[in-house]
Amino acid sequence: MQDFATTLWNAVGLILLGDADLIEIIALSLRVTLSAVVIACLIGLPLGALVGAFRFPGRGVVTVLLNALMGLPPVVVGLVVYLMLSAAGPLGPLRLLYTPTAMIIAQTILVTPIVAALTRQVIEDLHSEYAEQFASLGVGPLDRVAALLWDARYSLLTVALAGFGRAVAEVGAVIIVGGNINHVTRVMTTTIALETSKGNLELALALGVVLLAIAVIVNAAVMALRASAVRSAYA
């Protein structure tokens, strides 16, 4: 058994040397995950803000549903998306099964409730502060949502990162709809699962550490972006 430090060092070495296969896998991981997070934000932020800022019948039910959907099991989402995209399924003619697009769809379904539910909470809290001001200034509903989203943007950045964390670490859904096909739909998590099943535990673990490092880099980049935005806002 090769010792762990050596394996980890080899894995890092592969990246530094620009190992084409590993870089491709990392790039696909980021492409799938970031696409899913961006789409989930485009849906989840306005949705969460609407539920958070306005009162309407059934709002409690919607809130409970959004919160509950944060716990969607990835395997179940994968299965449902598979059944939809399968040649025998309703969306079969689109030929999306076993493509990165299918993986993005599955992860978007997983991440959207997280973004929407957390956004709702953030916006609701902020709205209770702003409600009186809005009323006295006669701000219209659309401007209210826009103002709340804008003022909560730093909290919402953390919301997006929560969604990113869920998506980048997820294996159950992408392995079903992507098929873990080499050079086509193989991402970091499915590679780790594959290496584990081959009994290459050290390599699997080393790849896990690499995945963690990528998550740290993405989070650090977002935080740095935020810090520079805050500085320029007060400059």
Partner 1 sequence: MFRRQFLSLALAGTLAATLAAGGSAPVSAADEKFIIVQSTTSTQNSGLFDHLLPIFKDKTGIEVRVVAVGTGQAIRNAANGDGDVLFVHARPAEEKFVAAGDGVKRHDVMYNDFVIVGPPSDPAGIAGSSDVVDALTRIAAAKAPFASRGDDSGTNKAELRLWKEAGIDIGAASGDWYRETGSGMGATLNTGTGMGAYIMTDRATWIAFGNKGDYTIAVEGDNRMFNQYGIILVNAEKHSNVKSELGQTFVDWVISEEGQAAIANYKVDGQQLFFPNAPAGS
Query: What letter does residue 185 receive in the DSSP assignment?
Result: T
Residue 147 in tokens: 């103002």
Q: Are 183 and 24 a contacting pair, CB within 8 Å?
A: yes
Q: Which is nearer to partner 1, 13 or 183 (CB)?
A: 183
Q: Which is nearer to partner 1, 128 or 182 (CB)?
A: 182
94 binds partner 1 (CB under 8 A): no
Q: Which is nearer to partner 1, 65 or 91 (CB)?
A: 91
Q: How far is the CB of 146 from partner 1 (least distance, A)?
A: 4
Query: Which residue in the set 179, 191, 207, 208 belongs to the binding site for partner 1 (CB under 8 A)?
Result: 179
41 binds partner 1 (CB under 8 A): yes
Alpha-carbon dihedral sign for residues 3, 9, 13, 15: positive
112 binds partner 1 (CB under 8 A): no
Cα-Cα-Cα-Cα dihedral of 174, 5, 16, 37, to 10°?
Answer: 30
CA 123 – CA 51 distance, rounded (Å): 9
Q: How far is the CB of 68 from partner 1 (least distance, A)?
A: 26
Q: How far is the CB of 61 from partner 1 (least distance, A)?
A: 28
Q: Are 71 and 114 a contacting pair, CB within 8 Å?
A: no
Site for partner 1 in 181-220 (CB under 8 A): 181-184, 194, 196-201
Among candidate residues 104, 40, 79, 70, the one with its CA nearest the CA of residue 172: 79
24 binds partner 1 (CB under 8 A): yes
Query: Which residue in the set 47, 104, 106, 115 belongs to the binding site for partner 1 (CB under 8 A)?
Result: 104
CA 7 – CA 98 distance, rounded (Å): 30
- Residue 67 phi/psi, 5-degree rounding, is -65, -40
Quote the distance between the C-alpha of residue 40 and its chain's center: 7
Query: Which residue in the set 22, 39, 157, 215 belongs to the binding site for partner 1 (CB under 8 A)?
Result: 39
Binding mask 45-84 for partner 1 (x = CB under 8 A): ----------------------------------------
Q: Are 164 and 218 a contacting pair, CB within 8 Å?
A: yes
CA 23 – CA 29 distance, rounded (Å): 10
95 binds partner 1 (CB under 8 A): yes
Query: Which residue in the set 8, 11, 35, 51 belongs to the binding site for partner 1 (CB under 8 A)?
Result: 35
Q: What is the binding site for partner 1 (CB under 8 A)? A: 1, 24, 27-28, 30-31, 34-35, 38-39, 41-42, 86-89, 92-93, 95, 97-100, 104, 142-143, 146-147, 149-150, 153, 179-184, 194, 196-201
